[in-house]
Chains A and B, each alone.
Chain A
Amino acid sequence: MSVAKTTAVRTLRPTTGWVAIDLHELVDFKDLIVEFARRDIKLRYRQTALGIAWVVLQPIVAAGVLNFAFGVVAGARPRGPSYFLFTFAGLLMWNLFSMTLNKTSLSLVGNSYLISKVYFPRLILPISGTLATLLDFAIGLGVLFVLQGFYGIAPQWQLVLVPVWIGMVLCLALGAGLIAAALTVQYRDIQHILPILIPFMLYASPVAYDVTQIPESYQRLFYLINPLAAPIVGFRASLLAAAPMPPLPYLAWSALFAIGMFGLGAAVFKRTERKFADVV
Chain B
Amino acid sequence: MALMDYMTTKKDELVGWIRKFSLFPYPFVTACCGMEFMAVSSTLYDTDRFGAALPRFTPRQADLLMVVGTISHKEAPILKKVYDQMCEPKWVMAFGACATSGGFYRNYGVLQGIDRVIPVDIYVPGCPPRPETVIDAIMMLQDRIAGDHHPILPAEQRGREPSHANKVFPIFPAADRVPPSQT
A, B assembled together: no
Q: Residues of B with Cβ closer than 8 Å to A?
A: none
